């Protein structure tokens, strides 16, 4: 069984920083692309950033220049460094990963971590 566990969320002031982590565990054979999404109250879930196994990244325009995605393949972990946070970044942040387990590729999601930015 594969699980994704996020950590690092919390309450921060406008202009502050947080670093989110998401570790995958279980009978993992390989991990392809890893993602960070977020969902604010009353809004649809949106893609924040993604990173492939080779380290190529895509960052949403709304956070470009402030957020950085990275990963450690030896730890099956993806990170989201969030700087210059704004109140509009307040949301539940979810990680997702394309994982090969039991010779089957599937998408797995974490449970989400709350990020709140106060003005």
Per-residue tens of pLDDT for the chain, all 119 residues: 999 999 999 999 999 999 999 999 999 999 999 999 999 999 999 999 999 999 999 999 999 999 999 999 999 999 999 999 999 999 999 999 999 999 999 999 999 999 999 99
pLDDT the model gives residue 38: 98
Strand 113-118 and strand 10-13: the pairing is: parallel
pLDDT the model gives residue 47: 98
Q: Please tell me the distance from the alpha carbon of residue 118 to that of residue 49, in angstroms, as a whole number.
A: 23
Closest residue by Cα to residue 2 from 92, 103, 115, 113: 103
pLDDT the model gives residue 36: 98
pLDDT the model gives residue 110: 97
pLDDT the model gives residue 79: 98
């Amino acid at each position: 069984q594969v699980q994704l566990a996020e950590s690092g969320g919390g309450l921060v002031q406008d202009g502050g920083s947080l670093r989110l982590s998401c570790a995958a565990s279980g009978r993992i054979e390989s991990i392809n692309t890893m993602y960070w999404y977020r969902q604010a109250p009353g809004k649809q879930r949106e893609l924040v950033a993604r990173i492939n196994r080779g380290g190529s990244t895509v960052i949403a325009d709304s956070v470009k220049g402030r957020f950085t995605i990275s990963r450690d393949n030896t730890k099956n972990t993806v990170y989201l460094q969030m700087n210059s946070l704004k109140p509009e970044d307040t949301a539940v942040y979810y990680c997702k990963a394309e994982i090969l387990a039991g010779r089957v590729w599937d998408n797995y999601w974490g449970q989400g971590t709350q990020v709140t930015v106060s003005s």
